[in-house]
Structure 1
């Protein structure tokens, strides 16, 4: 209810993380290069192989942590509401007596 935007952001982070990890793993597919291919192409390929899966993993972990945190906050919020309701009932009973 209160955390829908944060949940959507968390799901989006997880989705982007999965896509980045998939793109990074795709970079490991064998390719053929000519002997005249500049070194920058190889450096870029190596950077993609390392960066994309790492970023994907980090985004997945952060997304799952946010979802777990939201779940724990909602449980705690519900517990506090129940305790407040019980205390309000007790105060009402004390005032009647």
Structure 2
């Protein structure tokens, strides 16, 4: 199981304090947890997620998301209702990566 004591120092080592990013999505994009975005003329196109970047950190975040996904109290938590909606719409592995990207945006 992945603990927060492993993830936070790894994120800080990879992206420092995160002040170089103007938006939280840019931090998650740096870790390659969100799709690459191409936008022109007000039209956005989301491309695939590449496997470049820090593989160790991405693995830690995805395993932490998997643990959170499994052990979260679904009756009391607002994050759990968001996860249930994601799981109803998409494959569970995609929902896990979305949760890992959310964790990457908020940690640090």
TM-score by length of 2: 0.26
TM-score by length of 1: 0.28
Rg larger in 1 or in 2? 1
- Structure ranking higher on relative contact order (CA contacts 8 Å, 6+ apart): 1
More strand as a share of residues: 2
